[in-house]
Amino acid sequence: MTTITPIRKAPGRPDELSEWDMRIDLAACYRLIAHFGMDDLVYSHITARVPGARNLYLLNPYGLMYSEITASSLVKVDDDGNPAEPTDYPVNRPGFVVIHGAVHRARPDVACVLHCHSHAATAVSCLEEGLLPLTQGALQFYDRVAYHTYESMAFDDEQSARLVADLGDKQVMLMRNHGQLTAGRTVAEAFSLAYFLEDACRLQLEIMQSGGRMILMSDEVGKRVAGQYEKQVVPPEEREWPALLRLLDRIDPSFRD
């Protein structure tokens, strides 16, 4: 079983994020998913737990493109997906309750749940073998990917318990024939996991498409490298996230509004 350790504090970031800090991070995450071509028009969600509130969450206003989302436009909802304050935007309640809300309720260690239908991860989710230990990047996820069998669109509340059970204590899931889900202790971590999972899946598909004989790395190497990622790689808050925010600020800083 995967052990999820506390993440180190990023330099210059407060020990406890305010709701506005979380809104900025979450809006940035939506913009980045769009920037890297991993969005699905106005569909799917990235959700974040409101700091200091046990049962309140932020998610996208239903109907806005990911590239349009701002900190102030994010909708605050309760456990049941009902708006917790007045909003001019509708909420995709089933999508929140069946997937995101279920994970948030079951996993108090998780601050952000990211679910998307990115092309490569969705393609690999359709392969019986799933993600293979073919590249160094893939080994970040060695023995750390959960799988959930496709049942239906996210309208059935009863599916929630099975999805949560399949995720267990992992942070990454390939939802069979559907897409990917990452669960981060921070928004930055959820995005980083999703980005590098998509990259590993894309490389796998390109390798398979070549028709050459694949070299799979051993269980020993897989475990060693996955452990190295967990122990030695700098958390995304300390290096990746500030750089990504600078990228967004250059492109369009309105995500902060």
Query: What pLDDT, in 10s, does the model give residues 24-78?
Result: 999 999 999 999 999 999 999 999 999 998 899 999 999 999 999 999 999 999 9
User: What is the residue extent of each domain of the chain?
Assistant: 19-252
What's the mean per-residue pLDDT of the chain? 91
Tell if the pTM clears 0.75, that is, is over it. Answer: yes
Could you give the CA distance from residue 75 to residue 115 in angstroms, rounded to a whole number? Answer: 17
* Strand order across the beta sheet in which 145-148 lies: 75-77, 57-59, 45-49, 112-116, 179-184, 172-175, 145-148
CB 27 within 8 A of CB 191: no
Q: pLDDT value at position 233?
A: 66
- Which parts of the chain have pLDDT scores under 50? 1-8
Q: pLDDT value at position 175?
A: 97
Domain formed by 19-252, architecture = 3-Layer(aba) Sandwich (3.40)
